Structure 1
């Protein structure tokens, strides 16, 4: 028997998703769903109480409506979509249209782990982070004969753990901690707007949704594998430096990086078309695999682009279109971005570079472990790392020495580590003599548009991105740089609900909302693209000595904002995306807009330890070596001077390969 509060919640949630020929929210298990998420976020109980008391007049009503709808349209395991009722209602399925190709279990990569109690006192090299840059470093050093310890803050979860949850992945925004981590609420950051400092939890949008798991972001990324263009390395020379910007050229060129782009494409595995289109540089080798299969939506958008007068290319993906490196081809499922690949056809650090490192017998990984600080001797030389973690319910700390150390924890955490590594010789942190560590934080401001059509356009052929235009990465009159635009990944129904509500194309609740979802899930398309940010010295990472994590280490403090030029480029991308949608037949197209709060630094975070030709304007040299520390390197996106108008992961792989090759040559 339901309590009065439960009865009231049942009535209210059925106002959000009423019953008709398909179940209402309560009939689909909505009450159990709400109870489960409140158990995870106890502070939400007060919000629910206010909704029960004040109904639609509550300041939390919109939040309540979206949460109830989120559970209704999410995966059945979340409890609000019993029997996948809403998926049948909206004609959506997670599996490939033709079903899974085989029932044979996937052979997952197996890590070589070490328990904290079994750590050695000294290694040849310690690599901090296991994402794209950390995986390359571990592989290159181990294959060169070094004994390597990889330090990973997260777990090494099985594919199934990361392959399904629609509300707990780093590409959704429901306030629930992603399964890819971090999951400890004490892993806070601080947002500093110049007046107040507010804590940011891992489940909050301001956390910047980078995965904290073995393989880093490559475990759950969308895997778009673009090269930066030659002009991307010469932004300041090409456009000048806008007022308030810290725009600079890279100390290296496209030609310097091209051999390593090619290596990354073949050693990690990229599928794609003939080239990257206009503005792309010359290639020494083609892609190793043809483009991933696409549905008829590609033909529609290609014809529309042609009518508008711009060219299109296939979207390069770190996804196997054919069997590659002993693993399967993409099965075409509809849960790609934000999820681990069910058939292990998505190529990340964990199943390529780290696997090779472990195969040498000279590399191992310690999980659920953080680097608290880098340790130096009396001369200032880096000699080791202080590691901290929790195992068997107990916190531990251990000093481990190494001849060489590679930092690859992501732009925010890598900067935090150097800033927390203080000594008498460097009281403001390692490499921070010129107050540059943590500055120039950037990511990607995204432009784009959501369109709705009278006919079905979502063909449910995953991953989704099949066509892009790169014509507008540069050469846009009155703008600094630009970016590519591509059709988006197949969206989950819960995310489609969010996109449509956010764009004003769907009521948040009620019969019209449910009818709208029935009609629009397969009649909605999104075109999106990242723009080339011009960077700012005031967009930065510092550490907050007044707020520490569970191990007493000061947390990252984020401040600053995106540059006005970035918003102008974003708006131009949004307008062009909307025009493309309308040319493809959209009856309505709503552009991305608004003013972002805080600095840019999402899953494409970069720039906080940028490279340069001298220490007056950079933290590392062109090979990622921290100035004044010949045995300390950085191999993640924090070394990027600018971040391109495309996804940056292939550049992280390539710069890391270049740095490690030079490192081992020494």
Structure 2
């Protein structure tokens, strides 16, 4: 069978394409590397989800190679040596199953950073080929279709909206938000109510959040979290227009004499090689793996990798600049009953310095430590000098930490500066269990990332001090978070300087689109998921109206 469209991956960049085109009557094939699960398969098992990573490959079998600069020289480290995993969920719906659902839009100025702030020395900042106005209707669509809960906050950098408020009311909140709000008011900061892609009310076959306190890093067993699986794929999974092949690792795309993609080749779990044909192909396997697939698909027409006549595939990768911090909130600040209310969300942040007069700033989100008690107890096993604790001393420390205080964290999101030392490449020396070259990720951060991170961290610390928190710490680092990936196939109007056109269609190959975060030339100072969803709906509309299928 020749499908109308073959989508490789099933996460935030893939779901809207499948959802839109299947409803349009097109024959859609999804090739998913992982398994198909539904809500009844999920639990809040910390050992399974957080200690053993049952939804990601064993790093001994499938890994990445990290290139880091040490004393002026670049060194390569396979991730099976360090345990630093860049896999974020091989499962129907991909990493969107495990997100915390902090959903922020980009701002209008995010689409024209170079025009706004000029050139940063050593960074490859460019303006987007589309504007905020092009994407706004699709941000609005995501609020309604995926399900975003929140309450509009008016502040200086608030983006224009076509809907007055979010599609769903804000989620139930922990009493700590009152202290955050009061502290911000005294400091003359705006306490921003953070919207979440988590349902506060039932929606069709999805149930509202039941406030389990196990959210980030866990699949949602009620369907409240707006994963691609729950919100887009499950509603169409029984349609005759959709076919899903699980455990299909696509390792190569083949082109025909007309320089169009004709086939995708994949390995089954048992290493059996199979092929599928389609009229149109959409790659959405998360940014690192999408670049890897295109680079591994090189042929005589594309000797440097598929869709890579520009030489830009894998270049200008984006992660999340910034860092994090923490503080202890104890019963001197908030009564024990209120402090230990579990499950309710903090959902507070700061975006007062998203832009400054001198530089692009970023976002601050406040959140409690994830519930995971095993992880929390392990952090308490030593005293302040690093000596292991035993017996009553250890028991007392664990008891006090579990019953008299909680850790309130803050996370910093800055605009990762794309640069020549942050890219994905292929090294034939390093291959996975299938014999396929793995992605080598060179991680070079721009000094601006740390500068802005430290600036924002001090603002978060000011709030924590005003609240009366103790043991305040911050860790601003140039090393990225592996779970937020973008770039590598940036879109633009010039085929010599970009991989994709403004509709995320390859400049070189007419029937190839890339719709995960790879398309982004800059990432904004927020998590990428909402923008990936919105853009994928936009691209789906373009494909629907084209004559490509």
SS at match of 1:352: helix
Which residue in the other structure is 1:187 paired with?
62
How is 1:508-523 mapped onto 2 (pairs within 5 angstroms)?
Answer: 509-510=389-390, 512-521=393-402, 522-523=405-406
Q: Matched residues in 2 for 1:654 and 1:261: separation? A: 5
Contact residue 462 and residue 489 of structure 1 kept, 8 A: no
Which residue in the other structure is 1:466 paired with?
347
Q: Matched residues in 1 for 2:382 and 2:182: separation? A: 28
CA-to-aligned-CA distance 1:362-418 (integer Å, 9 cap, x gap): 10111111111111012321112111122xxx3211121110000000000000011
Which residue in the other structure is 1:199 paired with?
78
Q: Per-residue deviation at 1:249? A: 1.3
- Cα distance change on mapping 1:158 and 1:142 into 2, 3 Å: closer
Which residue in the other structure is 1:640 paired with?
520
Contact residue 219 and residue 340 of structure 1 kept, 8 A: yes
Q: Matched residues in 2 for 1:315 and 1:547: separation? A: 42
Q: Matched residues in 2 for 1:492 and 1:177: separation? A: 13
Asked if residue 255 in structure 1 is aligned to residue 133 in structure 2, the reply is: yes
Is the deviation greater in 324-333 or in 412-421?
Answer: 324-333
Q: Matched residues in 1 for 2:140 and 2:90: separation? A: 28
Which residue in the other structure is 2:239 paired with?
360
How is 1:17-96 mapped onto 2 (pairs within 5 angstroms)?
Answer: none
CA-to-aligned-CA distance 1:305-352 (integer Å, 9 cap, x gap): 111111012221111111123321111111110001232221211112
Contact residue 619 and residue 626 of structure 1 kept, 8 A: yes
Asked if residue 370 in structure 1 is aligned to residue 261 in structure 2, the reply is: no
How is 1:45-194 mapped onto 2 (pairs within 5 angstroms)?
Answer: 120=1, 122-159=2-39, 162-169=42-49, 172=50, 177-183=52-58, 185-193=60-68
- Cα distance change on mapping 1:443 and 1:196 into 2, 3 Å: closer
Which residue in the other structure is 1:549 paired with?
432
Contact residue 31 and residue 250 of structure 2 kept, 8 A: yes
Which residue in the other structure is 1:49 paired with?
none
Asked if residue 300 in structure 1 is aligned to residue 149 in structure 2, the reply is: no
Which residue in the other structure is 1:269 paired with?
147
Contact residue 174 and residue 344 of structure 2 kept, 8 A: no
Q: Matched residues in 2 for 1:180 and 1:460: separation? A: 30
Contact residue 364 and residue 460 of structure 2 kept, 8 A: no
Which residue in the other structure is 2:305 paired with?
429
Asked if residue 447 in structure 1 is aligned to residue 302 in structure 2, the reply is: no
Contact residue 362 and residue 526 of structure 2 kept, 8 A: no
Q: Structure 2: where are the runs of 5+ without partners?
A: none
- Cα distance change on mapping 1:578 and 1:507 into 2, 3 Å: farther
Q: Structure 1: where are the runs of 5+ without partners?
A: 1-119
SS at match of 1:516: helix
Q: Per-residue deviation at 1:502? A: 11
Q: Per-residue deviation at 1:160? A: 5.9
SS at match of 1:544: strand
- Cα distance change on mapping 1:503 and 1:396 into 2, 3 Å: farther
Q: Per-residue deviation at 1:436? A: 0.8
Q: Matched residues in 2 for 1:620 and 1:163: separation? A: 40
Which of 496, 503, 514 is the matching residue for 1:616? 496
Is the deviation greater in 324-333 or in 210-219?
Answer: 324-333
Q: Which has the higher contact order (CA 8 A, sep 6+)?
A: 2
Contact residue 316 and residue 422 of structure 2 kept, 8 A: yes
Q: Matched residues in 1 for 2:177 and 2:398: separation? A: 23
Q: Per-residue deviation at 1:506? A: 8.9
- Cα distance change on mapping 1:182 and 1:240 into 2, 3 Å: same
- Cα distance change on mapping 1:643 and 1:310 into 2, 3 Å: same
Q: Matched residues in 1 for 2:259 and 2:100: separation? A: 41
Q: Per-residue deviation at 1:464? A: 2.8
Equivalenced residues, count: 533
Q: Matched residues in 2 for 1:158 and 1:231: separation? A: 39
Q: Matched residues in 2 for 1:656 and 1:227: separation? A: 14
Question: Would you tell me which structure has more strand in proportion to its own residues?
Answer: 2
Which residue in the other structure is 2:193 paired with?
314
Contact residue 539 and residue 560 of structure 1 kept, 8 A: yes
Q: Matched residues in 2 for 1:448 and 1:395: separation? A: 41
SS at match of 1:206: coil
Q: Matched residues in 2 for 1:254 and 1:507: separation? A: 53
Q: Per-residue deviation at 1:614? A: 1.3
TM-score normalized with structure 1 length:
0.76
SS at match of 1:264: helix
Contact residue 350 and residue 365 of structure 2 kept, 8 A: yes
Runs of 4+ in 1 over 6 A off after TM superposition: 498-507
TM-score normalized with structure 2 length:
0.91
SS at match of 1:654: helix
Asked if residue 417 in structure 1 is aligned to residue 293 in structure 2, the reply is: yes
Q: Per-residue deviation at 1:167? A: 4.2
Q: Matched residues in 2 for 1:224 and 1:183: separation? A: 28
Q: Matched residues in 2 for 1:167 and 1:235: separation? A: 43
Contact residue 279 and residue 470 of structure 1 kept, 8 A: yes
Contact residue 180 and residue 211 of structure 1 kept, 8 A: yes
